[in-house]
Amino acid sequence: MTIEVKDYARSDFQSAQEVRWCPGCGDYTILATVQSFLADMGIARENHVFISGIGCSSRFPYYVNTYGMHSIHGRAPAIASGVSSANPDLTVWVITGDGDGLSIGGNHLIHALRRNVNLKILLFNNQIYGLTKGQYSPTSELGKKTKTSPMGSIDYPFNPVSLALGAEATFVARTIDMDRKHMAEVLAATAEHRGTSFVEIYQNCNVFNDKAFIELTSRETRDDNRVYLEHGKPIVFGPDNEYGIRIGELGAEIVEVSAVGIDAIQVHNAKDPEPGVAFALSRLSRGPHGPTPLGIFRDVDRAVYEDLMAGHIKQAQELRGTGDLAALLRSGGSWTAEQEAGSSS
């Protein structure tokens, strides 16, 4: 199949549906960035598919003028895996949230990641259940007071990036709704990657969890706390790049560049086949507090699920007519009802 490249504007990817999110929601920024990015890609609209689950973020397919499906709670990765496996020439996006993707959908998510299905998974993380009006989610911080945890949550939160790396995802990144330029750069790398791309997007819910990411978005503190990961460059941050990340025996640690020298600062390698350093970087912060890495943690090549499946199908077609189905059914540990009855008497 030849993918036709077209000249699009953002408006070509805006559907006629009224966008129904709360005023000021971070989802608006993500939607606008994705629509603009899709236009820049130039891939025909009919070659994009957006699959979502349940939640505020999962209204996304209604608002992009492509094919799509608003599916069921947590099952978007499974449905998208089927779409991509049957139609490997399509660009398949999964839109999910911290509740949809990490609670009821956690099992589907980790298996899509380990299988390396050719999917682009965008997980909007606002650390709350927004659609159902403010219950704590799998990423809510310990002690979070909500309608379902009035005395504070006693659940320890997931770190989505650590989870993805632990599942051997081949592309793992994090960005934030308030930085459209960075988000577009991450989306570009996501689109280029073959295999499962996982992107956590910090997204503000201004109604039920406002300012959850204030340390990363406030003009007063963002330069102190945004740690941008750039492949091949030392990991430095701060208003004057005065701080850096060093990988020590206990993991990633923050040091003053002037004290240790630039040569001691970790040079980021997103192509490292081993995920250990990327995992250490993901543990630098246990949430959007203090210095927090943003960017591409890992981007490596591995056999893609659809390619492996196509190989099996080809092999089966070549063997067609050479097998004996009856012999196969009676091979191995098969037995008859009479044998079973005799052994139990």
pLDDT digits (tens, 9 = 90+) for 213-248: 999 999 999 999 999 999 999 999 999 999 999 998
Residue 26 has phi, psi (to 5 degrees) of -65, -15
**pLDDT on residue 243:** 97
Residue 14 domain-assigned? yes
Residue 58 domain-assigned? yes
pLDDT at residue 181 tops 90: yes
Instruction: Work out the angle at residue 158's Cα, subtended by the Cα atoms of residues 154 and 164, and round it to the nearest 5 degrees.
Output: 165
Q: Domain range spanning residue 86?
A: 10-212
pLDDT at residue 306 tops 70: yes
**pLDDT on residue 345:** 56
Higher pLDDT, 340 or 145: 145
**pLDDT on residue 253:** 95
pLDDT at residue 329 tops 80: no
Residue 253 domain-assigned? no
**pLDDT on residue 3:** 55
| CA distances, 181 to each of 33, 188, 333 (Å) | 9, 11, 60
Residue 99 domain-assigned? yes
**pLDDT on residue 287:** 87
Instruction: Work out the angle at residue 261's Cα, subtended by the Cα atoms of residues 260 and 263, and round it to the nearest 5 degrees.
Output: 115
CA neighbours closer than 13 Å in the CB half-sphere of residue 3: 14
What are the start-end ranges of the E strands in the chain? 48-52, 67-70, 91-97, 120-125, 171-176, 197-202, 226-229, 236-237, 243-248, 251-256, 292-299
Provide the CATH number for the domain around residue 37: 3.40.50.970
pLDDT category, 5, cuts 50, 70, 90?
low
Give the mean pLDDT of the chain: 93
Stated pTM of the model = 0.91
Which of the residue ranges 37-46, 109-118, 161-170, 329-338 would you say has the lowest mean pLDDT?
329-338
Across the range 274-298, mean pLDDT stands at: 95
Smallest CA-to-CA distance from 195 within 310, 78, 304 is with 304
pLDDT category, 151, cuts 50, 70, 90?
very high
Cβ–Cβ < 8 Å for 270, 298 = yes
User: What would the pLDDT profile of 69-86 be if each residue is shown by its tens digit?
Assistant: 999 999 999 999 999 999
Residue 339 domain-assigned? no
Q: How far apart are CA 291 and CA 229, in angstroms?
A: 12
User: How many domains are there within the chain?
Assistant: 1
User: What would the pLDDT profile of 12-65 be if each residue is shown by its tens digit?
Assistant: 999 999 999 999 999 999 999 999 999 999 999 999 999 999 999 999 999 999
**pLDDT on residue 6:** 77
Residue 345 domain-assigned? no
Other Cβ atoms closer than 10 A to 21: 18
Q: Which residue has the tokens 């051997």?
A: 168
